[in-house]
Amino acid sequence: MTSKAVEPVQELVFKSQGGWLENAGIVGLIRILNDDDYRIADNCLYLKREALNHFTDKYFEFFITAYGKQTHLAKIISFKSTLQELLSKDDAEIDVDKTYNQLENWFKNSLKYYIATGSFKKISSIIESDLDIKAAIKDCSKDLKQLNKLKKNQSNKSEVISALRQLITKLQQFTDYFSETRAKNLFMAKTLSYIVIKNAWNKISFLNPQTKIINLYEDYKKTFVEPVIEYLKNDHKWDVYQCFTCGRPMKEQKYSYSFLNGLGYDVNRKNSNAWIFNNDQFMCPICRFMYTAVSAGFNYNMSSQGIFVNQNQNLLALAKANNAILRKMRLDATNERVTPWRAFALSFQQEFTSSSRFTLANIQVVSYQNGQYRFALIPKKIANVLRQANERKVQLQNGEVKSLLAILSNTYIQSFRGQDSLQIYDAMLQRLLVSANLNTLINNILQMKIVDNANANITVNQVMNLIEINLLYFKEMSNLSLTKEELSHMRGSGKILREGYDNANKAQTLAYRLLQALKIQNNDQFMNILLDAYLYQKKLVPKNFIQAMNSQEEFNQLGYAFIAGLIPNNSTEGGKVNEK
């Protein structure tokens, strides 16, 4: 009696069950694959078996397309057109000093910088080329020095331009070298493996420092794709183990979760983490293959920050929500301060505009920074705050109209408490998404504005916009009756008091003392300081403070607005809030 042949599996099924990690992997697979490689039905992704044949190339192609333009290598390759343009110019059109500075800057800060990296040293060993990079670099360095001497000695212009043209021709060797398809793909993949891919998983395959396979494509295929193909060939009827993720049968417990950052642990060195020192959490090769796509499903910038919106109503909505974030990040790639949080908020502002039924309520937001994941589930009230902040329009003095959210998108504090910069937009969102108010953030910003700290890249008008968003928060979370008109009035009162001083330092000292009283929530101390100031100018204290003495949060917001009035606005940015 002949044994029955195993029916070949035609599709790999990845079911969305709500878990953020698996959903990020599924979104990653959707992004990597061509449309005809898969189908979506019943909240499952069905990947065609034959798609595995070209998956490795598509895997790295995604990262190169999504993030490649932001690398040093891209600056090298894109300079090719600049060199061609320079060569095409007539001698009379060439500005010698400008051209020299342009070439020197690119040579030192892009080309030489990249060639000194470990990525270049590894990959260049498997690139076939007649160009001796080290010798060519030395040659061009000499040419640059010689060209600089010619300039300084005010040599004949035609001689200098001739030397420039010779140098440009030599520099073209490098752009040609890196533009060659195989070289470009390998160098890009290596660079992005360290900047983006390793954010989700690490320590195995091409991310293992001890790997003997230099070609990333070969390493990935051997480690992750071939085990899937082999698994699909075999009959698993008598397998005794089950995948901890999907429940598929397995012959052996081979693949652990230790390669996933922040989630798995080294089962060999830290077996005490398992119950009775016996780890039983292993996955099948298909799930391990899926988890490598988490790097593609998350939305990263080039500073190891990422965000994933687990809008798990269905796979199409999930992919659409995250694609909007990634698209926004790619459009803003030239902005050095672009962050995943900013891209998240701006992408959802567009959704608010396009659909009145859209809501952020009960959506899980997973953020990644410095190797750690943080989780937030957006409550309905906070979703309402963000919706209102997006609907409320601000008319700037230059006539431009922006939402309360958008007007804060480029604000930051340079060198803040050990950080290179604190993105105020991010800090605001991170507080709101965990249902926290903005009092401490406003306090810190006002304190810097009082002393006219140049690191605070935010105007007083924008601080008022932040206070207004804080007001929306309190009105949504409690029965606070304060209005934005009252805040504007209090800022005006502060401005009038400031203008009553003949010495600007007196208003500055008053603002600082009032802010310290607010910080410790001592309303009596705040009022005593304020009374002294008004008595000095022989004016009446605004009655708003007296009426709000019994409501700490109302008092705080009035106080922040008043203090903002004591600070001169240092920019025309910001403006009057108009309902649209």
Q: Which two tokens stand for residue 380?
A: 């309905």
Could you give the CA distance from residue 227 to residue 434 in angstroms, rounded to a whole number? 41
More confident residue, 135 or 572: 135
For 54-89, letters b (16+ CB in 10 Å) and e give: ebbebbbbbbbebbbebbbbbbbbebbebbeebeee
Structure tokens that stand for 6 in this block: 């195993």
Q: Which residues contact 317 (CB under 8 A, 6 or more apart)?
A: 311
What's the pLDDT at 548? 80
Per-residue pLDDT at 272: 41
Q: What is the pLDDT of residues 3-39, one digit of tens each?
A: 445 566 789 999 998 899 999 999 999 999 999 999 9
Beta-bridged to residue 437, according to DSSP, are: none
- Any idea what DSSP says for residue 260? B
Residue type, 76: I
Q: How far apart (Å, rounded) are the C-alpha atoms in residues 86 and 10?
A: 54
Mean pLDDT, residues 512-539 taken together: 94
Domain-wise residue ranges, the chain? 298-378, 407-580
Strand, coil or helix: what is 447?
helix
Segment 325-382, tens digit of pLDDT: 998 887 665 555 567 888 887 777 666 555 544 567 778 999 998 888 999 888 889 8
On the CB side of 87, how many CA atoms lie within 13 Å of its CA?
14
Highest mean pLDDT of the ranges 167-181, 230-244, 549-563: 167-181
**pLDDT confidence band for 277 (50 / 70 / 90):** very low
Mean predicted confidence (pLDDT) in 209-236: 96
* Long-range contact pairs involving 378-385 (C-beta distance under 8 Å, separation at least 24): 378/433, 379/435, 381/435, 381/476, 381/477, 382/432, 382/433, 382/435, 382/473, 382/476, 383/359, 384/476, 385/432, 385/469, 385/472, 385/473, 385/476
Q: Count Cβ atoms below 10 Å from residue 470 Cβ, excluding itself.
A: 24
Q: Which helix (H) or strand (E) holds 162?
A: helix 157-179
Q: Is the C-alpha dihedral spanning 531, 533, 534, 537 positive or negative? A: positive
CA torsion angle 536 540 542 546 (round to 10): 90
Lookup: tokens for 521: 């929530």
Report the pLDDT value the prediction gives residue 377, as an integer from 0 to 100: 87
406-432 mean pLDDT: 87
Within a 10 A sphere around the Cβ of 300, how many other Cβ atoms? 25
Q: Where are the alpha helices (DSSP H) in 68-111?
A: 72-88, 96-106
Report which residue type is found at 191.
T
The number of helix segments (H) and strand segments (E) in the chain equals: 24, 16
**What are residue 47's DSSP bridge partners?**
12, 38
Which amino acid makes up residue 163? A
pLDDT at position 1 over 60: no
| DSSP summary character for residue 286 | H
| Contacts with 323 (C-beta within 8 Å, 6 or more apart), sequence order | 31
**Is residue 154 predicted with pLDDT exceeding 80?**
no
Residue 241 is given by DSSP the state E
Residue type, 225: V
Is the CB of residue 57 less than 8 Å from the CB of residue 325?
no
**Rounded mean pLDDT, 237-259:** 92
For residues 572 and 397, give the distance between their C-alpha atoms in angstroms, rounded to a whole number: 6
The pLDDT of residue 350: 64
**Per-residue pLDDT, 265:** 42
Per DSSP, the three-state class of 135 is helix
Secondary structure letter of residue 107 according to DSSP: I
Length of the chain: 580
Q: What are the residues facing 368 on neighbouring strands?
A: 306, 373
pLDDT at 55: 98
Least confident of 85-89, 116-120, 219-223, 383-387: 383-387
State residue 266's pLDDT score.
Answer: 46
Range list of H helices, 355-459:
380-391, 424-432, 439-450
